[in-house]
C-alpha cells in the first residue's frame, strides 16, 4: 500500500471516528502538504484551545490559501474562543439524524480532547474547553441550517467548579437579508440571520451566515455560556 493512500485512509478515518494516531504513520510524504499542515496545527492548537489551565502559548496560525485548502479531503471547521484568543481546526467525527429536526454533527480536535456538537449548524454542546456548554435546546428545522425562529433557548452550563447551571434565554430571530462573505479567498452568497436573546442577567446576540440551497452554515458567532463567551466558527472545507 502506498504511503499517500495510507495517509488518505487515515484522514478519512478521522472524519468517521474520534481516534486517530497520526504519529503512528510510517510515512505519508505523498499526502497533500496542507492536510499535514492542518493536522499538525490542530495537534499544536489542542493544548491551547482547551484553556489557559496549562498555560500553553498560542501556536501560530498556518497561512491558508484556497488552492491549498482544495487539497484537503475531509471537512474542516475553524473555531476561535474570542475571549481567550484560542483557536483550533476541528474535524467532523460524527454525522447523524434523530427524531428531532436538524442534522447533528460532532467536530473534534485530532486527539478528541475538545469537541463541539452542532444541530443544524447551531451549537448545542462543547466538551474539553472548561466551563462547557453541556446541552442546549434550540429551535431548528430540516429546511435550512441555523435557528428556525424565536422563543426560548435553554442552556445547561458546567461551571468551573463542576456545578451545573440552567439558563433560559428569551430570543427573537431577525433576518438581516442576503450577505456575501469571504472565507479564505472564496466568496459565499449567504443569508445573515441574527438571534437576539435576553436572560441570565444580560443580552446575547448570535449571528449565522447560512446558505439554505447548499444546506451549509458557512460562518457563525455563537454564545457558549458565561464562562466561554462567544465562539467564532468558520467552515474552511465543505
The domain locations on the chain are 3-237
pLDDT mean across residues, the chain: 80
Bridge-partner residues for 52, per DSSP? Answer: none
pTM over 0.95: no
Grid cell 454525522 is found at: 95
Q: By the 8 A CB rule, do 157 and 225 touch?
A: yes
R_g of the chain, CA atoms, integer Å: 18
Contact residues for 40 (Cβ-Cβ < 8 A; gap 6+): none
pLDDT value at position 111? 85
In this predicted model, what pLDDT tens digit does every residue of 33-89 receive, in sequence order?
555 566 565 555 554 554 433 345 656 777 889 998 998 889 999 999 999 888 999
Any alpha helices (H) in 63-185, and if so which ranges?
Answer: 66-69
Residue of 156, 157, 149, 155 whose CA lies nearest to 169? 155
Residue of 212, 231, 209 whose CA lies nearest to 222? 231
CATH fold label, 3-237: YmcC-like fold (2.40.360)
In this predicted model, what pLDDT tens digit does every residue of 76-131 receive, in sequence order?
999 999 998 889 999 999 999 999 999 999 999 988 889 999 999 999 999 999 99
Question: Cα separation of 238 and 235, whole Å?
Answer: 7
Q: By the 8 A CB rule, do 132 and 157 touch?
A: yes
Please report how the helices 33-49 and 3-16 are oriented relative to each other, as an axis angle in degrees rounded to 10: 40
- Flag whether pLDDT at 2 surpasses 70: no
SS (H, E, C) 27-79: CCCCCCHHHHHHHHHHHHHHHHHCCHHHCCCCCCCCCCCHHHHCCCCCCEEEE
pLDDT value at position 7? 30
Can you tell me the mean pLDDT for 9-25?
Answer: 29
Amino acid at each position: 500500500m502506498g504511503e499517500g493512500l495510507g495517509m488518505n485512509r487515515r484522514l478519512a478515518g478521522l472524519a468517521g471516528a474520534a481516534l486517530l494516531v497520526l504519529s503512528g504513520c510510517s510515512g505519508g510524504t505523498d499526502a497533500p502538504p496542507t492536510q499535514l499542515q492542518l493536522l499538525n496545527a490542530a495537534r499544536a492548537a489542542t493544548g491551547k484551545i482547551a484553556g489557559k489551565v496549562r498555560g500553553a502559548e498560542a501556536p501560530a496560525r498556518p497561512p491558508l490559501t484556497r488552492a491549498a485548502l482544495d487539497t484537503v479531503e475531509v471537512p474542516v471547521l475553524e473555531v476561535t474562543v474570542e475571549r481567550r484568543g484560542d483557536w483550533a481546526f476541528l474535524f467532523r467525527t460524527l454525522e447523524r439524524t434523530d427524531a428531532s429536526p436538524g442534522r447533528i454533527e460532532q467536530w473534534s480536535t485530532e486527539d478528541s480532547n475538545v469537541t463541539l456538537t452542532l444541530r443544524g449548524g447551531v451549537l448545542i454542546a462543547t466538551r474539553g474547553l472548561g466551563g462547557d456548554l453541556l446541552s442546549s435546546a434550540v429551535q431548528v428545522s430540516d429546511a435550512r441550517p441555523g435557528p428556525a425562529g424565536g422563543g426560548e433557548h435553554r442552556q445547561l452550563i458546567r461551571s468551573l467548579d463542576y456545578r451545573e447551571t440552567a439558563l433560559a434565554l428569551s430570543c427573537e430571530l431577525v433576518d438581516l437579508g442576503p450577505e456575501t462573505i469571504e472565507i479564505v479567498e472564496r466568496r459565499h452568497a449567504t443569508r445573515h440571520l441574527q438571534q437576539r436573546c435576553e436572560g441570565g442577567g444580560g443580552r446575547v446576540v448570535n449571528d449565522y451566515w447560512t446558505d439554505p440551497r447548499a444546506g451549509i452554515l458557512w460562518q457563525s458567532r455563537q454564545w457558549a455560556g458565561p464562562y466561554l463567551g462567544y465562539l467564532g466558527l468558520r467552515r474552511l472545507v465543505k
